[in-house]
Amino acid sequence: MSDELPTLALQPNDDELSRLLHEAQYLLLKHPVAAQAAFGAFVAEGRRFATTEEGQRWESRLRGSDLIRRGRVVWEVVTLKMLEENPPDVLPTAYLDAMVRATSSAELEPLLAQLFDMGWENGRTDPSSDEK
Amino acid sequence: MDVPILHRMKNEFDHRNLWLQVVLGLLSAGERLERMLNHHAPAHPAEQPDGSPPAPAEAADEVLMAFVLGLVGSKAHLHEVLERAATDGGAPNPEPPDPPPPSHSTFGSFLR
């Protein structure tokens, strides 16, 4: 009889994986507008990034990878194909730049106070965008 | 009496600063994304985990590809911005700006 103790091999917990994917699905169904806005913004950001040298390097890395090829199946099931490419007015990095510009503004408080005086016309902050 | 918000925040670099936590969260998510991409989409196709050559992407993959590229681009931009901010903002400002006039202290009044 061997002196070795029996060993127990733990397999990846698929229940946990399913629960996390289900949680992501629930999040999307709970906040569809926010999810669509975030998705559209990042897709547009990706289109812009792909025009840069670094973006093209990344694109060639991603093209053909399982992460994209098989990931699309997972993505479509998790998102129930609800998300569409909807070009936003402002890219995510533009919001980041705006935060940085605001923090370096010498007139920060008047700038922030201005936000309370601005209106929302048809869900937009720029009335001229309605003319486009 | 109106107290401008900029002069009330003296020790903001702790767990109570949610903006700081958001920035740290974005950094953490970005680092995790990069590690994940380095593993699953290596710089050289020969480094694919199973050693097989990469198959061409379908047209339907393009949107997901753009989405992932958007995450990567945003992460790179965040790093640039933070590095610039750390370089520019590391030294104390020798002449802080004058406090804004009371007529513009709506934001400070609102938060108080």
Predicted confidence at residue A9, as pLDDT, reads 65
What is the SS3 assignment for A124? strand
The CA distance from B98 to B96, in Å, is 7
How much is the pLDDT for B29? 94
Summarize pLDDT for A31-48 with one digit per residue, the tens: 999 999 999 999 999 999
Q: How far is B1 from chain A (nearest CA, A)?
A: 16
| pTM for the structure as a whole | 0.71
Q: Which of A32-36, A62-66, A87-91, B1-5 shows the highest mean pLDDT?
A: A32-36
Check residue A64 and give its pLDDT. 78
Round to the nearest angstrom and report the end-to-end CA distance of chain A: 83
Token pair of A53 as six digits: 């040298």
CB contact under 8 A, B81 and A97: yes
Return the residue of A nearest to B42 by Cα.
A61
Mean pLDDT value of segment A27-32: 94
Alpha-carbon B81 to chain mean position:
8
What residues of B are in contact with residue A71 (Cβ under 8 Å)?
Answer: 64
Between B14 and B18, residue with greater pLDDT: B18
Q: Residue B76's pLDDT is what?
A: 93
- The pLDDT tens digits of the residues spanning A67-125 come to 888 888 999 999 998 998 888 888 999 999 998 889 888 988 889 888 888 877 766 67
Which range is least confidently modeled, A85-89, B66-70, B78-82? A85-89
A57 to chain B, minimum CA–CA distance in Å? 8
Instruction: For residues A84 and A89, give the distance between their C-alpha atoms in angstroms, rounded to a whole number.
Output: 15
Is the confidence at residue A55, as pLDDT, over 80?
yes
- From chain B, the residues in CB contact with A106 under 8 A are 97
Residue A109 or B4, more confident: A109
Report residue A123 CA to chain centroid gap: 21
- What are the residue ranges spanned by the domains of chain B? 1-47+61-83
- The answer on pLDDT for A128 being more than 70 is no
Q: What is the dihedral of CA A52, A53, A57, A63, to 10 degrees?
A: 40
Q: Which amino acid is at B3?
A: V
ipTM: 0.76
* Range name among A4-8, A16-20, A43-47 with the lowest pLDDT average: A4-8
In this prediction, residue B105 carries a pLDDT of 44
Residue that has been written with the tokens 């629930």 in this structure? A26
Q: For A12-26, A47-61, B34-48, which range has the lowest pLDDT when averaged over its residues?
A: B34-48
pLDDT at B95 over 90: no
Between A14-28, A98-112, B78-92, the lowest mean confidence (pLDDT) is in B78-92
Q: Are B56 and A64 in contact, with CB atoms under 8 Å apart?
A: yes
CB-CB neighbors (< 8 A) of B60 in chain A? 72
- Label residue B84 by pLDDT band (50, 70, 90): confident
* A11-15, A42-46, A63-67: range with lowest mean pLDDT: A11-15
Check residue B7 and give its pLDDT: 52
